[in-house]
A and B are shown apart, each in its own frame.
Chain A
């Protein structure tokens, strides 16, 4: 079965510093990977995805993620953190358990990493 792991429950960084939120994955076949962000008592917002192509994926709000096949990682990064980036971040992988043809699937999520950016 596909799975993702977020090894850090919490990450604290100072405003203006670079941030990294880690994610590792385990899949059979090609990985389809995603990052989402959740603010308190809200739904998840899509940030970016890796399907194929360049290992550095750029997404919303200045975030990017680096796909590393040899390390099976998909870490989320931002060069300069903002206090408003403080939120819960989820890594997810596409799980095609149910279907053929890639059209019938679910997303399997990590447990989330709480990012706090201090002023």
Chain B
């Protein structure tokens, strides 16, 4: 099946640890995005990548890092510098020339 796969679905992190969220797509999409969702705040953009080996900060990039070594993969690392990481994280992708983005099923990260 084609689509965007995020893993794991649930993730627990201890204070001070880095964790990496996976996002893989087999849609041959060029652009990939990471959003953070908090109750009542909608979606906020963390990082964006249009092509391999290139990415840009979004509105709330502090405490996060990404890489784009392959077209299919755009992992997000939540570092210990992110002070309030508990949230629902959504990955999306889009093909050049189309306007709508398609989303994965999300990863819920909880700091314990």
Residues of A bordering B, CB below 8 Å: 9, 32, 34, 36, 41-46, 49, 51, 90, 94, 98-99, 103-104, 106-107, 109-112
Contact A90 B42 (CB under 8 A): yes
Contact A34 B105 (CB under 8 A): no
The B interface is mostly helix, strand or loop, or mixed, namely strand
B contact residues, total (Cβ < 8 Å): 27
Instruction: List 20 interface pairs A-B (beta carbons < 8 Å), by A numbering.
Output: A34-B99, A36-B103, A41-B88, A41-B108, A42-B105, A42-B106, A43-B104, A43-B105, A43-B106, A44-B90, A46-B101, A49-B100, A94-B99, A99-B50, A103-B50, A103-B97, A106-B58, A110-B42, A111-B42, A112-B40
Q: Chain B's nearest CB lies how many Å from the CB of A24?
A: 14
Bound Cα distance from A98 to B41, whole angstroms: 23
Partner of B100 from A42, A46, A99, A109 at Cβ < 8 Å: A46
Bound Cα distance from A36 to B102, whole angstroms: 10
Q: Which B residue's beta carbon lies closest to that of A46?
A: B100
Contact B50 A104 (CB under 8 A): yes
CB contacts (< 8 Å) of A106 on chain B: these are: 33, 45, 48, 58
Residue B56 at the chain A interface, CB threshold 8 Å: yes
Q: Chain A's nearest CB lies how many Å from the CB of B36?
A: 11
Residue B18 at the chain A interface, CB threshold 8 Å: no
